[in-house]
A and B are shown apart, each in its own frame.
Chain A
Amino acid sequence: NAGVTQTPKFQVLKTGQSMTLQCAQDMNHEYMSWYRQDPGMGLRLIHYSVGAGITDQGEVPNGYNVSRSTTEDFPLRLLSAAPSQTSVYFCASSRNRGYEQYFGPGTRLTVT
């Protein structure tokens, strides 16, 4: 099993550009989530999904969209990038709700 994979590993965007961060898991997990990690703020939940076709907002959803068309994939879309979205983004998945989440390696995003 590859576990949770994220692409790209690094990305630099200009303000106003859009992009999609990819996340995939091969463990047949129903629950998937996206977090951002900033110094002094810890991990904060952006969006989560409890199964294909079902998504919901977390603590900091503004400026981000998600969809879940398959069990395996959970992409995160930045609609119009802003410098405040400079962060490290982690995707995670879990068999049962958010317990025992497996995290991906992260995407380091810089918005200039």
Chain B
Amino acid sequence: QKEVEQDPGPLSVPEGAIVSLNCTYSNSAFQYFMWYRQYSRKGPELLMYTYSSGNKEDGRFTAQVDKSSKYISLFIRDSQPSDSATYLCAMSENTGNQFYFGTGTSLTVIP
């Protein structure tokens, strides 16, 4: 079983929609949770970073962590065509030395 599971999609939504992206994990020791965005043929770029449980908001993006269910989510409000990319979740134990990534969800926002 992989440490981190992520639905690969693809996900296609109209411009302005609310997008929900999710990951599940098996290691209850994970404490740091991140979301990266990766455009085609580019390196990933960090979007959001949360520690332990709870919500974090940054502009149109909200990250949620539910440690009891081992489930994390990223919500994108008022989605734009420029949000079209692959979204990767990543997580780590307290040491922060080794991060485990999901396989990524491909999102297309249609104008």
Contacts and interface: CB of A to CB of B under 8 A. Distances in A.
Interface of A: 4, 31, 33, 35, 40-45, 48, 50, 56, 58-59, 90, 92, 96-106
A106 B8 CA distance: 21
Interface of B: 4, 6, 8, 32, 34, 36, 41-46, 49, 88, 90, 92, 95-104
A99 B49 contact: yes
B97 to A, nearest CB: 6
Contact of A103 (B4, B6, B44, B95): B44
Nearest to B44: A103
Contact of A99 (B4, B6, B32, B42): B32
Given A103-B43, A103-B45, A104-B43, A98 B88 contact: no
A58 B3 CA distance: 14
A21 to B, nearest CB: 14
B46 A45 contact: no
B101 A98 contact: no
Most B C-beta atoms less than 10 A away, residue of A4, A31, A97: A97
A43 B88 contact: yes
Contacts of A45: 98-100
Contacts of B99: 33, 45, 98, 101
Contacts of B34: 99-100
A4 B42 CA distance: 12
B43 A98 contact: no
A100 B101 contact: no
